[in-house]
Structure 1
Amino acid sequence: MRNKLVAGVAAVLVGFSTQSLAKVTEAEAARLDKDLTPLGAERAGNASGTIPAWTGGLKTPPGNWKAGDVEVNPYPDDQPMFVINGDNTDLYRDKLTDGHLKLLQEYAPDFYMPVYETRRSAAFPDRIYRKTRENALTAELLDNGNGVRNTIATSPFPIPENGLEVIWNHILRYRGEEVSFRSASATPMTDGSFNPVVNQYDYFIAYSKQGAELEEIDNKIFYLKTDTISPPSIAGTITLVHETLDQIRSPRLAWRYDSGSRRLRRSPNLAYETDLPNSSSMRSVDQKDMYNGAPNQYDWTLKGKREIYVPYNAYQLHDESVRPDDVIRPRHINQELTRYELHRVWVVEATVRTGISHIYSRRVFYVDEDSWQILVSEEYDNAGNLWRVSEAHNISYYSEPVFWTTMEMTYDLKAQRYYVDGLSDGFPAYDFSPGFRSKEFSASAARRAARR
């Protein structure tokens, strides 16, 4: 009996060790030059030909785009191959998420999904491909998966073995070294009326800086400063975030400057299920960027891969001529401006851990194999009912080759309202080389900026 018990414990420890170390062999890593893409996706297309092979992504900007311009549509002649609506969902059910099925059923006939030819456009710098392979050989999950070690620049686990590795691939995916942009968010009423909130976003992504070494970045993934521009009632509000890699050794640091009190204060609760500021309680903080922060409140299960219709190549939503009034409609955005394509995605299910309280008891994430970007997520309430559905509409940017969101939204099925972020009102193109320095993102620097 004792020998059996020891053997059982040993087996459990071996299994945990395998999950924790998560390194791959040189032979496995060699697949990133063969049947897998440099980021770990299947290089080949699918058997039916509806998903093409990956041939490098969108490596060259269209000829009618120049540096400093907002990205233009590289596929201007593409037209929808078909449209999925509330009447024909049974024809496509096997390639739809539960969230999209619900939206198609409950928001018919106005919510529909125009499906276009699949374009595997995601492309990244060559140095990111090299770092991905290096990470595959060295990266390790920390105990309980609350951080990663021996990784730098980009996603650590191109050949994932579990759900935690996939979610860390999303959290640490390459989004450039620094970026500055302006966008508006809104929470439209059921009749479609809205009051936009305009924010300036400045990122310094220490983890991804060229030449960065793990021991030099002070356990930081990125620094983020947001400055509210309008409406006047909250203009001047500043939020500063230091996002950490090992979130047990040093949890996220956050400060908020309220223009009313004229004081910069620590914000220890700017995480997990806390309401995302200016979202009318329709989105939690950990839903920003589809998922962010320490994953320690959930148990993560990798459900495998699926071929599903997902938002992709959203250049119509990104177009510099599109204004908030063109996008916002009652209950959901203007689906005429959307584009869905058939892609392979990793499916990850998160269930809240015993003893943990969170507004979402279960979450399902659909993660793009070509970029590690979460494209769609479903959020369930504590009674097990589907409550919210989130989408990330993405493009390949040109001035810095990254595949990243241009617009995100969360649909609240109970309130019949939604939150949307990424609206443009003639704002400039994303600037991926603003020339920031890390010291500009200190609390004292934010305090000085707020007082000017």
Structure 2
Amino acid sequence: MSLSKRICVSASVLMLFAGAASAGVPVAQADRLVRDLTPMGAERAGNADGSIPAWEGGLAGVPKNVSWMPGTGHYKNPFAEDQVLVTISNENAGTHEAFLTPGQRAMLATYPNYKLNVYPSRRSCALPEAVYEAVMKNAVTGSLGGNGDTLSGVLRGIPFPIPSSANEIVWNHNLRYRGYKVSRTFVSAAPTREGNFTPIKVQDDLVFDYSSPGIASINELNNTSFRYLQETISPARRAGQLLLVHETFDPAIGERRSWQYTTGRTDSSPRVQRTSAINYDTPQIYSDAMSTADSFDVFSGPLDRFDWTVAGRGERYIAYNSYELSSPAHKYADIIKPGHINQDLVRYEKHRVWIVEATLKPTQRHVYSRRTAYFDEDGYNMVAGELYDARGGLWRVQEAHLMQYYDVPACFNASDVVYDLVEGRYVVQNLKNEESGINFNASHLNDMMFVPEELRRRITRR
């Protein structure tokens, strides 16, 4: 659908709610989503010097300049001809200070060969028309209550395209569109300081219930935003480990529900255990204790242990259109290097971001006393972050590598990394270069696969 037709359709959706909005923003304000804002609430216009272009619909289909077949699981780079505009090192970082995050500045100062290759900015993010229409409805009917954890009047698209608080921005990230039924195989690795690593291969399946095309109200979801099933494939000592998670909207109604089975138990009968430990600052599986459960997907889970505030909006260099880093032409050994991943493979672009600060509540506990999060305006993906220890020192740096999956279409991180500045190490997750890629049409997934009994069935089949 052309941009002009999309504006007409979106305007029609808004007219349906004229005079009926009791929550969200007024229809007159939501009308900006078909005027000067994109359907996701970003600025349609570029910036003053042209280094950030106007949004013209993004890559909402397979680009004409790539030969690509559906079902391949990997995505060819439509911007392969782009050249590096500037390479930022510690020596010239001061010239680019205004567009660097503190985390990037720390990485440049810590590692002599760390750099950022900056390319032309491409606003490639695009979503299905049905999702845009849902976002339009959410804009005028959505509300956030309680302590920022109770959602109503929203479904399928980001809840708050014109956010009025930091909590709404973070909820946009947590509930952004990533398909409906998705299956993938990926690798995580936590290399030593010397760069040695053992790849942890995982098969996982996801049903994003919030994005279900058959649901008419968030109330039908039983406080469940998505269901996640993970099985470890290798190495042999970990093979067969299972994890099932039901993510919730409101922790006041019920906390995240999770079950796990761990191999190598010494008791006589293997057991699937219900656990509440896969949450908040519990060390993330396979991260070698360098990342927390709520840093999965850069950030996930409830917001209730922190006070969230908007620190502003600004232009930053962020990892974007990460087709080269995700290419099957590169082996994991090409990517995973001592200290940090291979920066020659990471593409940075200048984009506008929301900057959000989170401070630990006095009544709560967490290994992080403070965290800063950066959200891309075009898709509300969290693209970078800084994590601070109990004394307020910068401890860890997060980076997500965004990519437009143009056949879906959907825009989110293809991989992500957490750098531990104290350990001098890092963990990188969701690499799929040597795997079969990602399947956005996993229609074989059904409700019976996302219950504890499925874990028990898998155990007994071995």
Name the TM-score, length of structure 1 as normaliser: 0.94
Residue of structure 2 equivalent to 1:42: 43
Residue of structure 2 equivalent to 1:16: none
Residue of structure 2 equivalent to 1:64: 67
**CA RMSD, aligned part only?**
1.1
Question: Is the Cα–Cα contact under 8 Å of residues 60 and 407 in structure 2 kept in the other structure?
Answer: no
Residue of structure 2 equivalent to 1:152: 155
The alpha-carbon deviation at position 147 of structure 1 amounts to 3.3
The alpha-carbon deviation at position 258 of structure 1 amounts to 1.5
**Which one of 196, 201, 224 corresponds to residue 198 of structure 1?**
201
Q: Point out where structure 1 has 5 or more consecutive residues left out of the alignment.
A: 1-20
Does 1:444 pair with 2:458?
no
SS at match of 1:263: coil
Question: Is the Cα–Cα contact under 8 Å of residues 313 and 393 in structure 1 kept in the other structure?
Answer: yes
Residue of structure 1 equivalent to 2:341: 333
Question: Is the Cα–Cα contact under 8 Å of residues 87 and 118 in structure 2 kept in the other structure?
Answer: yes
The alpha-carbon deviation at position 412 of structure 1 amounts to 0.3
* Alpha-carbon distance in structure 2 between the residues aligned to 1:145 and 1:393: 28
Q: Which amino acid aligns with 2:39?
A: P
Q: Point out where structure 2 has 5 or more consecutive residues left out of the alignment.
A: 1-21
Residue of structure 2 equivalent to 1:131: 134
User: How does 1:235-384 map onto structure 2 within 5 Å?
Assistant: 235-261=239-265, 262-384=270-392
Segment of structure 1 superposing worse, 261-270 or 123-132? 261-270
Question: Is the Cα–Cα contact under 8 Å of residues 327 and 433 in structure 2 kept in the other structure?
Answer: no
Segment of structure 1 superposing worse, 225-234 or 261-270? 261-270
The alpha-carbon deviation at position 313 of structure 1 amounts to 0.4
Question: Is the Cα–Cα contact under 8 Å of residues 243 and 252 in structure 1 kept in the other structure?
Answer: yes
Q: Which amino acid aligns with 1:162?
A: S
Question: Is the Cα–Cα contact under 8 Å of residues 177 and 432 in structure 1 kept in the other structure?
Answer: yes
Divergent runs of 4+, >6 A: none
The alpha-carbon deviation at position 438 of structure 1 amounts to 2.1
Does 1:394 pair with 2:399?
no
> In structure 2, do the counterparts of structure 1 residues 105 and 22 end up closer, same or farther at CA, with 3 Å as the change threshold?
farther
Question: Is the Cα–Cα contact under 8 Å of residues 322 and 424 in structure 1 kept in the other structure?
Answer: no
Q: Which amino acid aligns with 1:26?
A: V
Q: Which amino acid aligns with 2:262?
A: D
SS at match of 1:27: helix
Residue of structure 2 equivalent to 1:421: 429
Does 1:186 pair with 2:189?
yes
Instruction: Kindly provide the CA deviation profile for residues 409-439 of structure 1, in whole angstroms up to 9, marking residues without a partner as x.
Output: 0000000000001223521121111111122
Residue of structure 1 equivalent to 2:118: 115
* Alpha-carbon distance in structure 1 between the residues aligned to 2:122 and 2:433: 28
Instruction: Kindly provide the CA deviation profile for residues 346-395 of structure 1, in whole angstroms up to 9, marking residues without a partner as x.
Output: 00000000121111101000000000000001000011111000000011
* Alpha-carbon distance in structure 2 between the residues aligned to 1:215 and 1:299: 26
* Alpha-carbon distance in structure 2 between the residues aligned to 1:427 and 1:195: 15
SS at match of 1:159: coil
Residue of structure 1 equivalent to 2:11: none
The percent identity for this pair of structures is 40
Name the TM-score, length of structure 2 as normaliser: 0.92
SS at match of 2:95: helix
* Alpha-carbon distance in structure 1 between the residues aligned to 2:440 and 2:162: 28
Residue of structure 2 equivalent to 1:218: 222
**Which one of 210, 217, 236 corresponds to residue 207 of structure 1?**
210
Q: Report how many aligned residue pairs link the two structures.
A: 431
Instruction: Kindly provide the CA deviation profile for residues 68-115 of structure 1, in whole angstroms up to 9, marking residues without a partner as x.
Output: 12100011101111100010001000110011011011112x110000
SS at match of 2:272: strand
**Which one of 142, 146, 150 corresponds to residue 145 of structure 2?**
142
Residue of structure 2 equivalent to 1:29: 30
* Alpha-carbon distance in structure 2 between the residues aligned to 1:22 and 1:281: 42
* Alpha-carbon distance in structure 1 between the residues aligned to 2:271 and 2:407: 37
SS at match of 1:145: coil
* Alpha-carbon distance in structure 2 between the residues aligned to 1:409 and 1:147: 30
Question: Is the Cα–Cα contact under 8 Å of residues 346 and 366 in structure 1 kept in the other structure?
Answer: yes
* Alpha-carbon distance in structure 2 between the residues aligned to 1:370 and 1:356: 33
The alpha-carbon deviation at position 22 of structure 1 amounts to 6.3
Instruction: Kindly provide the CA deviation profile for residues 120-147 of structure 1, in whole angstroms up to 9, marking residues without a partner as x.
Output: 0000000110000111111111211123
SS at match of 1:446: helix
